[in-house]
Amino acid sequence: MAVDEEILRARAYLLRVAEPPAPQTGRFVDRVGAVAAAEAIRRGDVSREVAKETSARRKNDHAEADLAAAAAAGARLLVPEDPSWPHWPFACFALAASDELVSPLGLWVRGPGSLAELTERAVAVVGARNATGYGMHVASDLGRALASAGQTVVSGAAIGIDGAAHRGALSVGGPTIAVLACGPDRVYPASHSAMIERIAATGLVVSEYPPGAVPARHRFLVRNRLIAALAAGTVVVEAALRSGAQRTASDARALGTVLMAVPGPVTSAASAGCHELLRRDALLVSSAAEVTEATGRLGIDLAAPLPRPERPTDGLDEQQRLVHDALPPRAARDVGWLAVESGLGTDAVRAALVELERRSLALHQEGRWQRVTEPPSD
């Protein structure tokens, strides 16, 4: 099922010539096929719209060299003609009525995983570079718990939240996908090179930029759409009011995937972007189980209800509660006194006392009753 070399060369050429996102080029390729499109672009024999996206670099035909450089770096070119292309996740691009949110022309990938398989159950965890200890802790916990639950953690390998999420997944041997904004032969940020190598060894490192490409600012933003698209949902863990993570969030929203955010202290600027998303339309999540429930298989991935504290008075009916409240903690009283105190008739008081005694909530001594004390609560 190997993809034709000619297609690989055509897509490698297109990925270098058209700076992503290249909506017109994408449509042209979809219409005439990668090989014919590459031919036409190389000759300059294309519409004005496609020319606008391709004329500056159309003579830079480095396809062979790029494929070789990628191979030397352990990467390969994944193309839509390949069975492990993530057609299903990328179908969300069709939903987004935006020229910025388009499927890539191909992806340089490094690692043993199949992108289609890894994204069958995947969640993006993204957030601030400038994260707090709280955010790092939550992202790492989420990464670990999602991976343990069989989800692939998708993120951008950045300093801060991204790195913590990847590391959480790696810590339990779970697959994780890092989408980079530079060429497949580069690692960015440099301080994460060991982590990125580990991801490449067990999961996948993915990029739509050709070998040698540097991570320009614009590319981080464009890259974010791939993080959002490869996952069923995106969780933002800490984000300042204006941040790349908010861009990924708005991509997730536009792509129709599940947008989630983790809250934090309202006194923390690092959580202000999350709170803004939550005030708008994001779903608040406080655990991996809640993330899985929101993104998972219907009726299967339900979060267990949160454990609730139990009280000895649970299950008492209204009258039993009133009598229990009326019972004095020290000096015992008779049924008549309890009737006035509780506002109930004496028969109702007697009936309630039977149940309260059965539950060891009331103490009976010579026709008088008192409460079995427990600490007061809210």
Q: Based on CB atoms, which residue is closest to a copy of itself, 167 or 324?
A: 324
Quote the radius of gyration of the chain (alpha carbons, Å).
30
**Segment 35 to 54, residues that bind a copy of itself, using CB under 8 A:** 52-54
Q: How far apart are CA 38 and CA 309, in angstroms?
A: 65
Burial of 245-271, coded b for 16+ CB within 10 Å and e otherwise, reads bbbbbbbbbbbebbbbbbbbeeeeebb
C-beta of residue 294 within 8 angstroms of C-beta of residue 257: no
Interface pick for a copy of itself out of 264, 292, 352, 361 (rule CB under 8 A): 264
Q: Which residue from 135, 167, 150 is spatially nearest to 261, judged by alpha carbons?
A: 135
Measured at the alpha carbon of residue 128, what is the angle toward residues 125 and 131, in degrees to the nearest 5? 110
Interface pick for a copy of itself out of 97, 190, 304, 306 (rule CB under 8 A): 306
Q: Does 158 bind a copy of itself (CB under 8 A)?
A: yes
| Least distance (Å) between residue 119 CB and a copy of itself | 25
> At 74, which amino acid appears?
G
- Paired tokens of 149: 């639950």
Q: Based on CB atoms, which residue is closest to a copy of itself, 15 or 118?
A: 15
Interface with a copy of itself by CB under 8 A: which range of 1-9, 41-49, 63-71, 236-244? 236-244
Q: Does 27 bind a copy of itself (CB under 8 A)?
A: no
Q: How many CB atoms lie within 10 A of CB 24?
A: 20
**Segment 164 to 193, residues that bind a copy of itself, using CB under 8 A:** none
Q: Based on CB atoms, which residue is closest to a copy of itself, 80 or 263?
A: 263
Beta bridge partners of 283: 260
Phi/psi for 78 (5° steps) reads -100, 130
DSSP assignment of 174-230 equals --EEEE-SS-TT--SSGGGHHHHHHHHHHSEEEESSPTT----HHHHHHHHHHHHHT
Interface pick for a copy of itself out of 10, 37, 50, 128 (rule CB under 8 A): 128
Interface pick for a copy of itself out of 84, 114, 130, 202 (rule CB under 8 A): 130
Interface pick for a copy of itself out of 134, 149, 332, 370 (rule CB under 8 A): 134
Q: Does 308 bind a copy of itself (CB under 8 A)?
A: yes
Interface with a copy of itself by CB under 8 A: which range of 17-25, 35-43, 145-153, 361-369? 17-25
C-beta of residue 105 within 8 angstroms of C-beta of residue 26: yes
Contacts of residue 28, Cβ cutoff 8 Å, sequence gap at least 6: 37, 40, 41, 46, 47, 50
Q: Does 330 bind a copy of itself (CB under 8 A)?
A: no
Beta bridge partners of 262: 237
Q: Does 208 bind a copy of itself (CB under 8 A)?
A: no
Please state, in angstroms and as integers, the Cα–Cα distance from residue 68 to each residue in 16, 62, 65, 163, following that order. Answer: 14, 10, 5, 29
Q: Which residue from 193, 231, 185 is spatially nearest to 212, judged by alpha carbons?
A: 185
Q: Which residue from 21, 49, 26 is spatially nearest to 38, judged by alpha carbons?
A: 26
Interface pick for a copy of itself out of 265, 315, 334, 354 (rule CB under 8 A): 265
C-beta of residue 37 within 8 angstroms of C-beta of residue 25: yes
The footprint of a copy of itself on this chain (CB under 8 A) covers a number of residues equal to 64
Q: Does 339 bind a copy of itself (CB under 8 A)?
A: yes
Q: How many CB atoms lie within 10 A of CB 318?
A: 9
Q: Does 219 bind a copy of itself (CB under 8 A)?
A: yes
Q: Based on CB atoms, which residue is closest to a copy of itself, 58 or 76?
A: 58
Interface with a copy of itself by CB under 8 A: which range of 5-13, 31-39, 228-236, 263-271? 263-271
Site string for a copy of itself, 266-305 (x = CB under 8 A): xx---xx--xx-xx---xx-xx--x---------------
Q: Based on CB atoms, which residue is closest to a copy of itself, 5 or 310?
A: 310
Q: How far apart are CA 220 and CA 58, in angstroms?
A: 23
Interface with a copy of itself by CB under 8 A: which range of 5-13, 72-80, 90-98, 338-346? 338-346
**Binding positions for a copy of itself, rule: CB under 8 A:** 17-19, 52-57, 60, 128-130, 134, 137-138, 158, 216-220, 240-245, 262-267, 271-272, 275-276, 278-279, 283-284, 286-287, 290, 306-309, 321-322, 324-326, 339-340, 342-346, 376-378
